[in-house]
Amino acid sequence: MSEQERAEEIRRVMVIAAHPDDPEFSCAGTVAKWAAMGREITYLLLTSGDKGSHDAAVRPGQIAGRREEEQRAAATVLGVKEVIYLNYPDGVLENTLELRRRLCLILRERQPDVVLTIDPWRHYQLHPDHRAAGQAALDAIFAAREWYIFPEQLLGERQPWRVKEAYLFWAQDPDHWEDVSETVNQRIAALKNHRSQVEQRLDTLEERVRQGLREAGKDHGLEYAEAFKRLKF
């Protein structure tokens, strides 16, 4: 199958990440580009980032609601159709069988052609949520296609589902560079909605994002690019 044919087959895309703002710090230029092409994009956030404040006076419940709103606003800028929160506690996410079962069910019901998620094999990645989210997403992609895993989910129209590709962001060994020159401004505008996270570095944020995207694109003839490890199944 040619790249062209492969691309035409992609209709539904799911981004599976640990926290609100993960997509905007990684793959939002690609998300905006694909949404503009007519692809249906869904965000699935495993936590609501309820520990995302270094101010001990801010309680987890207070910041979670705000971060969900910020994420919805960012998603709107990009053309994302829906944002789903699973509300696991921030900072202590684990790739449990229960989480894998839940993600598997969502994949079987929503049937995304492509999943964008965190590379769990990136070396020396400290944040446990990032490791766990990527691992759980990939384990669920595997489970969703096998009729013998979580077979109790397979009823009526809900059948095994084969995701065609995973694009891993924050990748250890990227092998695909998506041209985001047309959507870099949208990515920055979306990112600025995460005010609780970026407020204190707003003055340098835009340039740092541009710099990262330029760096990713420079050896590939692209002005701005997002780098991925692409797994084709």
Binding site for Zn ion (CB under 5 A): 18-19, 22
As measured in angstroms, the least distance from the Cβ of 130 to Zn ion is 6
Q: In this structure, what are the phi and psi dihedrals at residue 114, rounded to the nearest 5 degrees?
A: -130, 140
Whichever of 18 and 168 has its CB closer to Zn ion, that residue is 18
Q: Which helix (H) or strand (E) holds 230?
A: strand 225-232
Is the CB of 42 or the CB of 48 nearer to Zn ion? 48
Q: Which is nearer to Zn ion, 39 or 66 (CB)?
A: 66
Helix (H) or strand (E) holding 33: helix 28-36
Q: How far is the CB of 38 from Zn ion (least distance, A)?
A: 28
Find the residue with minimal CB distance to Zn ion.
Answer: 19
Tell me which residue of 176, 177, 93, 173 sits closest to 137, measured CA to CA.
Answer: 93
**Cβ-based nearer residue to Zn ion, 132 or 188:** 132
The least CB distance from residue 19 to Zn ion, in Å, is: 4
**In the complex, minimum distance from the CB of residue 154 to Zn ion, in angstroms, rounded to a whole number:** 33
CB of 232 to Zn ion, least distance (A): 26
DSSP character string of 162-223: ---EEEEES-SS--EEEE-TTTHHHHHHHHTT-HHHHGGGHHHHHHHHHHHHHHHHGGGT-S
At residue 86, φ and ψ (nearest 5 deg) are -95, -10
- Between 22 and 178, whose beta carbon lies closer to Zn ion? 22
